[in-house]
Amino acid sequence: MLSESELGERLLQVEYMALQALVNSPGPEYVAALQSLADAVLAEAMMQKRVGTLSSATRRLCMRIGARINQLTSVLSQQHTEVDSLRSAATKEVSRIVTKPRRARRAKERERVDQPLNAVHMRDWFLRHLGHPFPTRNEKLEILLETNRSTSNPGSRLEYNQAMLWFINSRRRSGWTLFLRKYANGDKTMLMDIAKSLETELGGTHTQRGWSAGPTPRTRIPKLTELLPEMSESRLDQMRSDWAAIVEWVTVGVKDRVGDWVDKVIESVPRPKEEPE
DNA sequence: GTGGAGACATGACTCCGTAG
DNA sequence: CTACGGAGTCATGTCTCCAC
């Protein structure tokens, strides 16, 4: 006959297994093992009841075991229902895509399956700090907050890591990193000065230019010819052009693919009246 | 019109170096 | 040690071109 502490130990085993099953995907092996353990404990309780040694504490332990098994059964059943429903939806979707005519399928394909990042706020921040597009941790968190404030779909929420990668990729792909090496010899302070000079040269507001160099402690902004006295006028022009390309890249984002704006242009052109056949 | 090949865009991962 | 940036790279989606 098991003592009360031994029964308690068995219950702990049952609870541990139930917890494992709830945390992981509960497979049939969990349920079988759990059921066997529970059966052993219940058989012991029945036996103690028969011989008149079943205490109220032991009865409570048995009730807790029953509750855990019910809980697990319910979770299992719920998961099976969800899996079935997902499987059915996936099958329908695959069959729909496979059987659809190509034209309709192409149109559908334009809705990218992998949700594009909501880069509006990151893009905006980048353009406001083009001289030094390296947000601090707090600034990244603010961008995340701003981005996710306007996102109702939890599946498309921007993660910290995504924002970090976006800035790394964008600096590289916009040509910013190349510009840094080409015109500032890898010196970020120098590039900030160049950006400030370009900003002053162009004049206007952030809205008019579409970009800003970002905040700087400098009080006097040197001219480009002072900053880069050895650079020829044609090379300075090339630099201005490269800078404009960076601005263009960050502003537009290549997600607005050629095909998309061509479609818009085509749609905007008034169609000639169709000739009767 | 359709299908395939190749190019391109983009998000994400890994590895390594660096700064604090 | 940790966080971060840069570079290289991969996976996937999209687009364009071209042969049929």
What is the identity of the amino acid at A260? D
Whether the beta carbon of A257 falls within 7 A of nucleic chain C: the reply is yes
CA–C1' A101–B2 (A): 11
Question: Over A235-256, what HEC string results?
Answer: HHHHHHHHHHHHHHHHHHCCCC
> Nearest CA to A173 among A245, A241, A236, A116?
A245
What average pLDDT does this structure show over A263-274? 40
Q: Which residue has the higher pLDDT, A98 or A88?
A: A88
Q: Which residue has the higher pLDDT, A95 or A190?
A: A190
According to the per-residue pLDDT averaged within each range, which of A56-60, A77-81, A117-121, A232-236 is highest? A232-236
In three-state secondary structure terms, A222 is coil
Q: Which of residues 47-86 of A touch strand C (CB under 7 A)?
A: none
> Is pLDDT above 60 for A131?
yes
What is the identity of the amino acid at A98? V
CA–C1' A96–B4 (A): 22
> Is pLDDT above 80 for A127?
yes
> Is pLDDT above 80 for A135?
yes
> Is pLDDT above 50 for A152?
yes
Give the pLDDT confidence of A186-207 residue by residue, as tens digits.
777 788 888 889 999 988 988 8
Whether the beta carbon of A260 falls within 7 A of nucleic chain C: the reply is yes
Name which of A25-39, A145-159, A182-196 the model is least confident about.
A25-39
Residue spans of beta strands (DSSP E) within A20-148: none
pLDDT at A270: 42
Protein-contacted positions of strand C (CB under 7 Å): 3-7, 12-16
Domain ranges of chain A: 4-101, 120-256
pTM score = 0.54
